[in-house]
């Protein structure tokens, strides 16, 4: 095999070193190094780092290959490099979006939710006891109410909100609101208002900005349609029911939909607000392993005998979002894999031209006793080397770009993307999968030129000598 490796490298190497390309590669490397220095010294928060490092790396690779390899070989490797780098970056970004949405959803939502089809959920304590006994992985439970309301500060600022009534004692065991608090604390919900005092409420940062509210300010919650009899559609009173609250905390989850609309108050206050008495909308659970949430939900549903109860885990509640993200990731992977396949066609054409150019050398090798398998091995080595070098360089460029962009913290419009920064998460099994796919494509692409070279007869190569 050492013979095939030696011959394959000889065919790849241009036979000379292009000093101009070496100089250009050195200049590009300096530019990339300058971008790296900027990224490190500015903690990554500089667009100049991205503008210098990424193009500098690509140009260094391009000029470096042209300095030592032939043009055909360099073009073939460059196609693989760009395809692998693009696929690595896109996989990291799409995985980052998946994990960010998952973290945001699980940050302010429970892992399993039990709801009832009818409006008479009074037996929630029994359901909570059953949920705690159903599986040892169930860590905590709490009842809740979720209602659509209007909130105002009385200065013209009015916003539609979703108010969630929670158990002040149990909420920190079920939801991770406390780690998202910027001002105040979730513990403030435990405070029972005295005579003349207002009940506490917590809101998202974007909602607070819209209302121009701060901790300590008063807000008025309006219950829509509470002045109407929904059976006869006649007004029961002149104005809808209202209630004042005092802002005791502001949270920021990073998920715009929650930060702009969500408010938390105690369960008792919310029950009084909606006028339901001692009933709730549902019971929510926190489990030790979120991957087992679906199994626990299924067990609990069987125990409670669905219907009238409906038990759903966090993924089922948000399956449209996560299915869309997975479909987007799959489509992008397929599209970007086509870049690698196009690079494989360039590789095939380059190898076929190499076989045509080396016809005389192949004939001499065969006349000296070289076997067809050995000749095929030479060109397979060439194809594998092109794929291997392109894969290593592409993964290097892709991972470095991911690190720089992640450190820079590229801002997004939260109204469009729901999160405020571009998330990047590198998963090594995905990087390994990219490398494996690229190498398989390179091996398959090298088969046809290798077979063509091995089928060449010595007499055809030496006919005109």
Concatenated DSSP letters for 431-448? HHHHHHHHHHHHHHHHHH
What is the pairing mode between strands 262-266 and 158-166? parallel
pLDDT tens-digit readout, 139-167: 889 998 888 888 888 766 778 888 988 88
Assess whether 147 and 282 both reside in one domain. Answer: yes
Per-residue model confidence (pLDDT) at position 228: 53
Assess whether 191 and 329 both reside in one domain. Answer: no
Per-residue model confidence (pLDDT) at position 322: 80
Task: Please determine, for residue 102, whether its predicted confidence score (pLDDT) is greater than 70.
Answer: yes
Question: Residue 315: inside a domain, yes or no?
Answer: no
Task: Please determine, for residue 451, whether its predicted confidence score (pLDDT) is greater than 60.
Answer: yes
Task: Please determine, for residue 465, whether its predicted confidence score (pLDDT) is greater than 60.
Answer: no
Per-residue model confidence (pLDDT) at position 202: 92
Write out the residue range of the structural domain in which residue 72 sits.
2-105+321-461
Confidence of residue 460 (pLDDT cuts 50, 70, 90): low
Confidence of residue 384 (pLDDT cuts 50, 70, 90): confident
Q: Which stretch, 100-104, 263-267, 362-366, has highest mean pLDDT?
A: 263-267
CA dihedral 203→205→206→207, nearest 10 degrees, is: 20
Assess whether 24 and 122 both reside in one domain. Answer: no
Number of domains in the chain: 2
Q: Is the dihedral of CA 305, 306, 307, 311 positive or negative?
A: positive
Assess whether 354 and 302 both reside in one domain. Answer: no
Assess whether 155 and 301 both reside in one domain. Answer: yes
Average pLDDT taken over every residue of the chain: 81
Mean pLDDT of 13-21: 72
User: Could you tell me the two tokens for 301?
Assistant: 């549903």
Q: What is the pTM of this model?
A: 0.73
Give 164's contacts (C-beta < 8 A, 6+ positions apart).
144, 145, 146, 262, 263, 264, 265, 270
Per-residue model confidence (pLDDT) at position 310: 86
Contact 97, 84 (CB under 8 A): no
Assess whether 295 and 331 both reside in one domain. Answer: no
Mean pLDDT of 285-301: 86
Assess whether 210 and 269 both reside in one domain. Answer: yes
Rounded Cα distance, 228 and 232, in Å? 8
413 vs 251, which has greater pLDDT? 251
Contact 88, 336 (CB under 8 A): no
What is the pairing mode between strands 218-222 and 242-251? antiparallel
Residue ending a domain, among 265, 283, 306, is 306
Residue ending a domain, among 254, 271, 306, is 306
Assess whether 348 and 256 both reside in one domain. Answer: no
Assess whether 156 and 293 both reside in one domain. Answer: yes
Give 353's contacts (C-beta < 8 A, 6+ positions apart).
72
Task: Please determine, for residue 44, whether its predicted confidence score (pLDDT) is greater than 60.
Answer: no
| Local structure of residue 251 (DSSP, 8 states) | E
Q: How many CB atoms lie within 10 A of CB 271?
A: 18
pLDDT tens-digit readout, 222-247: 887 655 554 554 555 556 678 888 89
Residue ending a domain, among 249, 277, 306, is 306
Assess whether 261 and 301 both reside in one domain. Answer: yes
Question: Residue 111: inside a domain, yes or no?
Answer: no
Rounded Cα distance, 64 and 24, in Å? 8
Task: Please determine, for residue 114, whether its predicted confidence score (pLDDT) is greater than 80.
Answer: yes
Confidence of residue 307 (pLDDT cuts 50, 70, 90): confident
Assess whether 229 and 123 both reside in one domain. Answer: yes
Question: Residue 311: inside a domain, yes or no?
Answer: no
């Amino acid at each position: 095999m050492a013979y095939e490796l030696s011959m394959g490298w000889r065919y790849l190497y241009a036979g000379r070193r292009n000093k101009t390309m070496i100089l250009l590669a050195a200049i590009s490397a300096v530019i990339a190094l300058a971008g790296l220095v900027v990224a490190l010294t500015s903690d990554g928060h500089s667009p100049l780092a991205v503008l210098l490092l990424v193009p500098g790396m690509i140009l260094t690779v391009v000029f470096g290959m042209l300095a030592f390899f032939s043009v055909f070989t360099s073009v073939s490797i460059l196609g693989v490099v760009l395809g692998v780098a693009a696929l690595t970056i896109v996989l990291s970004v799409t995985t980052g979006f998946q994990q960010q949405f998952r973290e945001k959803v699980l940050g302010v939502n429970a892992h399993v939710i039990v709801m009832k089809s009818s409006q008479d959920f009074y037996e929630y304590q029994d359901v909570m006891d059953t949920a705690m006994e159903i599986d040892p992985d169930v860590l905590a439970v709490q009842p809740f109410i979720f209602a659509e309301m209007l909130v105002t500060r009385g200065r013209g600022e009015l916003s539609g909100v979703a108010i969630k009534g929670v158990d002040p004692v149990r909420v920190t065991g079920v939801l991770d609101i406390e780690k998202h608090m910027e001002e105040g604390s979730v513990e403030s919900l435990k405070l029972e208002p005295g005579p003349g005092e207002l009940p506490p409420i917590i809101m998202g940062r974007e909602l607070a900005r819209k209302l121009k509210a701060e901790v300590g300010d008063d807000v008025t919650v309006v219950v829509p349609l509470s002045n109407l009899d929904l059976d006869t559609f006649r007004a029961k009173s002149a104005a809808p029911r209202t209630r004042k609250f005092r802002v005791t905390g502001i949270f920021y989850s990073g998920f715009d939909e929650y930060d702009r609309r969500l408010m938390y108050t105690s369960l008792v206050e919310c029950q009084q607000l909606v006028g339901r008495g001692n009933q709730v909308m549902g019971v929510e659970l926190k489990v030790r392993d979120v991957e087992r949430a679906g199994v626990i939900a299924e067990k609990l549903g069987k125990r409670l005998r669905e219907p009238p109860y409906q038990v759903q885990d966090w993924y089922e509640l948000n399956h449209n979002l996560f299915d869309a993200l997975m479909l987007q990731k799959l489509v992008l992977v397929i599209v970007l894999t086509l870049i690698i396949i196009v690079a494989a066609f360039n590789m095939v054409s380059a190898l076929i031209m190499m076989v045509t150019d080396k016809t005389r050398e192949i004939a001499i090798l065969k006349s000296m006793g070289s076997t067809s398998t050995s000749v095929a091995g030479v060109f397979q080595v060439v194809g594998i080397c092109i794929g291997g070098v392109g894969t290593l360089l592409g993964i290097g460029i892709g991972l470095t770009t991911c690190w720089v962009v992640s450190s820079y913290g590229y801002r997004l419009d939260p109204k469009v993307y729901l999160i405020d920064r571009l998330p990047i998460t590198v998963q090594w099994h995905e990087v390994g999968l990219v490398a494996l796919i690229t190498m398989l494509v390179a091996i398959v692409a090298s088969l046809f030129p290798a077979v063509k070279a091995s089928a060449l007869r010595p007499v055809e190569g030496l006919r005109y000598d």
